[in-house]
Structure 1
């Protein structure tokens, strides 16, 4: 059987996450898996030059954890500890991982817990932390601008790293971490920035189930600028173009073969060797590519305006008080937003939290065009849960499910609008 197997034969069937529609089976061949793993090891050669420990807990039905936790160790020196999701904190402290792949939500959650710890420190230690953050921010800004830090800045940052940031990270078992990715969803800029200030070279890794890896990557820069997913590969086999509507088109040896028993969907996204990713991107003058959002998430208001909600949501999540933001407004007169408070926000009284969220709401609105501005917001009464179908297994928001779960809360924000008045007028009434 092995002798009869060809490189282009189907090797594995992955599920898409199902965040915007029903999950699809994605077929990958032995060849695409080889290319994907070799690309990972090529991007991070230290995975093969020394032994690395990684803690995994994401479901193995999806492409990223399978590639990194099962296939990559075959061609590298990666040592895997796999645990249940509820045990990952204990596993981190026990293993003290040197490599990590998490969705943004987990980096955000752990960062929130660490911030809460610093706020409980004695006064002198809090002052030391604030000073270290100022130094770390200057170092990060220098890295992002490709500048050269002064000798004094390097000395000050080394002191901040070893005296403040590494001991803080050690409290959750992340002081040895050297290779860190975030994937599966767009990461808030402030989350990546904070981890980089704390000395972690956190990189946003772009990839889809259909690409089994990354057609673009941060292959030539440590501590890359947040909000960017990398550059085009110099290898001519990896091609990325931008369609007229801003959609990323990719052509690479790691593309999938087909959707399992779904030729119509396959033909809709694979044309002449090019894959229509469904992601909207911008290419900056310095060659970096910025991910804008998903085409399927675009909102069409009743006034005919087409608005991408993800940049607005990302701006809101820059606040330390907001864990998740879900902009709604499809077929409505204007946009509103549902907010999930962060761990830090839960320590505030409801009145203080409402006032501070209102200030964040105003801050974001000031920078938005009139059609993009948010009319109102509501704080979710509970966290979004995978068990209720509001998140995928790897933490992505399922927008339609959230809208259905909190339909009453959303209707409150549109009370008095013409569309709501008409809807209420037509709603059947019991006699």
Structure 2
């Protein structure tokens, strides 16, 4: 199949902007809990829709008092937290344009984004961020204001006090001037292939995206009787996925909480306390939850029963999948009995680790292994995998609730068309497609053609319109023997091994495919402890024969799924993971391939020595 369209489930908005939902909800249901906000004492407190409206209004008045006007761009450099959402909606109320900046960005990256977007003010989280801005401020003549969230009384309180004398009608006049075509934000790409480009996203883009998602995935975004739908946002708000979650939650009336750290040690306690009914995450989070549960079972001497429970969950979910597509009768009586046996001992504990209320999740950002999706579905949490880009305001496809096809990224979001070009490139058309790159007509014309977005990704559509992503056009490796290899699928399969953290496949213009592999330190420490061995230093680990044997198993397992010419012939274990700090990962954890190959040129050469 070359093209597939899903009709819209809601009309595109004709008037207004993103902030209108804040005021409408406060008017219609002022006491509804809109947010859960974690205090300094670690306790979660409710924020009603009326309280949030009042905070947005007070902050918007303060921004006006400080000179922010319709169309101005204001950068936000922070981790995910409640105040970011507050600033977003206050700025949208005024028709201003937030420009998100990753908190880990270097001074030169910050300079480029602030300079390119011509921001007039900036919000930072703490002093380190302020110092980063300060180091380049002499080259940013348009930047007039800098506010710090964690300084003194805090930027929110200071701005709210500054705007106390501003008449509310001034704010409302700004809000009424916002139309769907107004620019909502400029989000910079992660820069895997060069200097970041500013994606111009309108209010209409975000409203279309959120309304189509919440309309089609109603079981996810709506509450059960007697319960309010809620989600904990731990994705970076500097990334389009996190911003879409924020917007969709506010528009759909979902209780929203914020968590600034995605590491399992920090995230899992807040999931248990907040108890979300669903989450939107990247596969990394689900991998961490699964591996943590597996290690716990192994420490307690229950590895074999856990592994059996995994097999049962996968088989159970696969049987339900076949039934949904009319290719099977569903789980057999014996399988249902086995599944029920493991419900309390394994599956219920996995759900409890995620708060206990969760029954759905959405995953994007990178590929999720089919087996992992089947396991979580069998354990009672259906993970709807999707696909999108910054240029498509997040999701362009996702698996539908009633017919999830694991291992694919689903069908087009309602109102969206997916087309596969002659060379296999995925093209998108829909109301969420961005309007272009800021100050870069050449790059814009390279990806936008009559409303169609050329994604740069390669993929295929099956007979039911489900999309499978097979790689990136620019990342295809061609060996010296002329064999074309898409590295991402191989890398994903190697990473399925519990001891492996990252994998990058190399081999362009080389005689065969090889790989650089990094290890999951926590998993390896557990593995050593289960063998009764003492911890090893990174330098000792990369030379450890037992570890090499384990990693080889992961590579061999990946090779069974490809032809001999595409298989990984040899690999090198690295002492340290690829990190954003060293310029080898983007802030959204994507590999910077060229940078990695430059940094490890000697190791790559040794693979072919």
Question: TM-score by structure 1 length?
Answer: 0.87
SS of 1:60's partner is: coil
CA deviations 1:228-267 (Å, max 9, x no partner) are 011245x5x4211100111111111111011111110100
Aligned positions of 1:184-195 closer than 5 A: 184-195=365-376
Gaps of at least 5 residues in structure 1 are: 416-431
The answer on 1:129 being equivalent to 2:306 is yes
- 1:48 maps to what in 2? 222
For residue 24 of structure 1, the aligned residue among 197, 213, 220 is 197
Give 1:268 shift.
0.4
Give 1:292 shift.
0.8
Give 1:116 shift.
0.5
The change in CA–CA distance for 1:293 and 1:155 in structure 2 (over 3 A counts) is same
The change in CA–CA distance for 1:192 and 1:121 in structure 2 (over 3 A counts) is same
- 1:327 maps to what in 2? 505
Structure 2 Cα separation of the partners of residues 398 and 67 of structure 1: 25
Give 1:7 shift.
1.7
Give 1:345 shift.
4.2
Contact 2:318 2:374 in 1 (8 A): no
Contact 2:233 2:245 in 1 (8 A): no
The answer on 1:205 being equivalent to 2:386 is yes
Contact 2:217 2:401 in 1 (8 A): no
Structure 2 Cα separation of the partners of residues 134 and 293 of structure 1: 29
Structure 1 Cα separation of the partners of residues 583 and 427 of structure 2: 30
Larger mean Cα displacement after TM superposition, 337-346 or 262-271: 337-346
Contact 2:425 2:454 in 1 (8 A): yes
Aligned positions of 1:170-185 closer than 5 A: 170=352, 172-185=353-366
SS of 2:454's partner is: strand
SS of 1:210's partner is: helix
Contact 1:189 1:318 in 2 (8 A): no
Structure 2 Cα separation of the partners of residues 261 and 202 of structure 1: 38
The answer on 1:396 being equivalent to 2:575 is no
- 1:312 maps to what in 2? 490
The answer on 1:227 being equivalent to 2:407 is yes
For residue 140 of structure 1, the aligned residue among 317, 320, 329 is 317
The answer on 1:339 being equivalent to 2:533 is no
- 1:259 maps to what in 2? 437
The answer on 1:271 being equivalent to 2:452 is no
SS of 1:167's partner is: helix
For residue 285 of structure 1, the aligned residue among 430, 446, 463 is 463
- 2:256 maps to what in 1? 80
Give 1:155 shift.
4.2
Contact 2:235 2:242 in 1 (8 A): yes
- 1:114 maps to what in 2? 293
The change in CA–CA distance for 1:299 and 1:174 in structure 2 (over 3 A counts) is farther
Give 1:21 shift.
3.0
For residue 276 of structure 2, the aligned residue among 79, 87, 97 is 97
SS of 2:176's partner is: coil
- 1:239 maps to what in 2? 417
For residue 11 of structure 1, the aligned residue among 184, 187, 190 is 184
Structure 2 Cα separation of the partners of residues 332 and 42 of structure 1: 49
Contact 1:189 1:314 in 2 (8 A): no
The change in CA–CA distance for 1:262 and 1:323 in structure 2 (over 3 A counts) is same
- 1:429 maps to what in 2? none
SS of 2:463's partner is: coil
**How many residues matched?**
408
Larger mean Cα displacement after TM superposition, 240-249 or 283-292: 283-292
- 1:35 maps to what in 2? 208
- 1:165 maps to what in 2? 347
CA deviations 1:309-367 (Å, max 9, x no partner) are 11222222233333322101223232210112244345247222212322333343354
Contact 1:105 1:395 in 2 (8 A): no
The change in CA–CA distance for 1:55 and 1:405 in structure 2 (over 3 A counts) is farther
Structure 2 Cα separation of the partners of residues 198 and 49 of structure 1: 20
Aligned positions of 1:420-431 closer than 5 A: none
- 2:244 maps to what in 1? 67
Q: Name the Cα RMSD after superposition.
A: 2.3
Question: TM-score by structure 2 length?
Answer: 0.63
Contact 2:513 2:567 in 1 (8 A): yes
Structure 2 Cα separation of the partners of residues 270 and 176 of structure 1: 42
SS of 1:404's partner is: helix
Structure 1 Cα separation of the partners of residues 501 and 444 of structure 2: 35
Gaps of at least 5 residues in structure 2 are: 1-173, 534-543
Structure 1 Cα separation of the partners of residues 354 and 461 of structure 2: 37
Contact 1:227 1:291 in 2 (8 A): no
Structure 2 Cα separation of the partners of residues 193 and 13 of structure 1: 36
CA deviations 1:6-33 (Å, max 9, x no partner) are 3212111112222333221111111111
Structure 2 Cα separation of the partners of residues 367 and 57 of structure 1: 34
Structure 2 Cα separation of the partners of residues 9 and 279 of structure 1: 29
Give 1:83 shift.
2.2
Higher alpha-carbon Rg? 2
Structure 2 Cα separation of the partners of residues 232 and 82 of structure 1: 28
Larger mean Cα displacement after TM superposition, 75-84 or 262-271: 75-84
Give 1:274 shift.
0.9
Give 1:40 shift.
1.7
